[in-house]
Amino acid sequence: MSLRIRKIGRIGQITLQRPEALNAVSHEMVHGIAGALEAWRDDEDVACVLIDAEGTKAFSAGGDLQFMHETASKGDFDAGRTFWRDEYRLNAMIATYPKPYVALCQGFVMGGGVGISLHGSHRVVGESSKIAMPECAIGLVPDVGGTLLLARAPGHLGEFLGVTGHRMSAADAIYAGFADVFMPEERWPDLTRALIENGNLSVISEMTETPQVGKLAALRDEVDRHFGKDSLEETLASLPDNDWGAATAGSIRAGSPLSAACTFELVRRARAGDDIRSALVQEYRFTSRSASEGDFIEGIRAAIIDKDKSPRWQHGSVSDVGPDVVEAMLSEPPEGDITF
């Protein structure tokens, strides 16, 4: 398995060990993490859980998209649906876990990597951290409970981050509520040793620093002005004719129009519900259809398989995705909603 799971001192430690694949989260890893958390839930020796990862490039850059594409392109949509159901149940478990859950998140933290780290109680980022939910670029939507994190970001930053895939620095991630504290990465081994020794989480606040200023806070008024509109189509039409407006529109238009329109709606539903399980139910409604009815297979082909970066999306633009299409993608699937 691409995980090291062990009890050591006062902690239960989970280490991702697929650095060559940017620690992409496989189905086997989902089962491994879930099993460890179940075992440690009532174990009095375990004061807290620590999840970290090998390699400097990424804590985890996402889920195992190669596997998802392989199965879906052969017409096997159930393999992906089973993976997502198990993964989302793990995300909900982490978000509601009764013990402190400390995540050390270096490098890329995206997609499935967000789901196994940033629902934890103590989310530590460092100077290399780059956090994003870029799923629209591959014909998916921000999932793994990501729509709830987006919904809880200040103002309408959630809609902006979700449809553009904007990459956050450590400071931006803290501002947006995706992370809690900044700690220089050279101190992480000391933190780990201290937690192993006594399981006392006060050591985290003793080692944290203030990160360099990010970009999101300065963008907040502009983002709220445009991304607070009633629809993504209106947002696009309102974007200013300047560098930021052009770059933002370009990011949105590069992704799947279907994914972008559904993401805009999903963030709003998550904000209204403000509950991890209801957010995951809504996300599953889309992802369960993403290969059979959406742009997922084409998105992965263009980004990862052929790498031609020229996806042929079903819809020409966001304006071609009517409210009825969004509603159909976000209605209860024939096999029923995910249960927990």
Q: Which domain CATH number covers 74?
A: 3.90.226.10
Which region among 68-72, 142-146, 187-191 has the lowest average model confidence (pLDDT)?
68-72
What band does 185 get if pLDDT is binned at 50, 70 and 90?
A: very high
What is the average pLDDT score of the chain?
Answer: 96
The domain tally of the chain equals 1
Conformation bin of residue 137: beta by default, left when phi > 0, alpha when psi is -120 to 50? alpha
Q: Tell how strand 108-110 and strand 181-182 pair up.
A: unpaired
Interval 88-109 mean pLDDT: 98
What band does 66 get if pLDDT is binned at 50, 70 and 90?
A: confident
Contact in structure between 289 and 262 (CB atoms under 8 Å): no
Which region among 40-54, 67-81, 165-179, 184-198 has the lowest average model confidence (pLDDT)?
67-81
The helices-and-strands tally (H runs, E runs) of the chain is 16, 9
Residue given tokens 């959406």 in the structure block: 294
The percent of residues above 90 in pLDDT, for the chain, comes to 95
Cβ-based neighbours of 321, under 8 Å, separated by 6 or more: 257, 258, 260, 261, 262, 315
**SS3 letters across 28-81:** HHHHHHHHHHHHHCCCCCCCEEEEEECCCCEEECCECHHHHHHHHCCCCCHHHH
Instruction: Summarize pLDDT for 309-340 with one digit per residue, the tens.
Output: 999 999 999 999 999 999 999 999 999 999 99
Q: Tell how strand 122-125 and strand 11-16 pair up.
A: unpaired
pLDDT of residue 1 exceeding 80, the answer is no
Q: Looking at residue 139, what is its pLDDT?
A: 97
Please tell me the distance from the alpha carbon of residue 302 to that of residue 133, in angstroms, as a whole number. Answer: 18
Please tell me the distance from the alpha carbon of residue 320 to that of residue 245, in angstroms, as a whole number. Answer: 21
Q: Looking at residue 69, what is its pLDDT?
A: 86
Instruction: Summarize pLDDT for 252-297 with one digit per residue, the tens.
Output: 999 999 999 999 999 999 999 999 999 999 999 999 999 999 999 9
Instruction: Summarize pLDDT for 115-125 with one digit per residue, the tens.
Output: 999 999 999 99
Distances (CA, A) of 110 to 78, 129, 320: 24, 10, 28
Instruction: Summarize pLDDT for 130-175 with one digit per residue, the tens.
Output: 999 999 999 999 999 999 999 999 999 999 999 999 999 999 999 9
> Domain for residue 227, yes or no?
no
Q: Which domain holds residue 198?
A: 3-132+170-207
> Domain for residue 163, yes or no?
no
> Domain for residue 14, yes or no?
yes
Sheet (strand 108-110) strand order? 58-60, 108-110, 130-132
> Domain for residue 15, yes or no?
yes
Q: How many CA atoms lie within 13 A of 20 on its CB side?
A: 1
> Domain for residue 63, yes or no?
yes
The model carries a pTM of: 0.97
> Domain for residue 81, yes or no?
yes
Contact in structure between 211 and 174 (CB atoms under 8 Å): yes
> Domain for residue 312, yes or no?
no
Q: How many CA atoms lie within 13 A of 262 on its CB side?
A: 31
Three-state DSSP state, 189: helix
> Domain for residue 179, yes or no?
yes
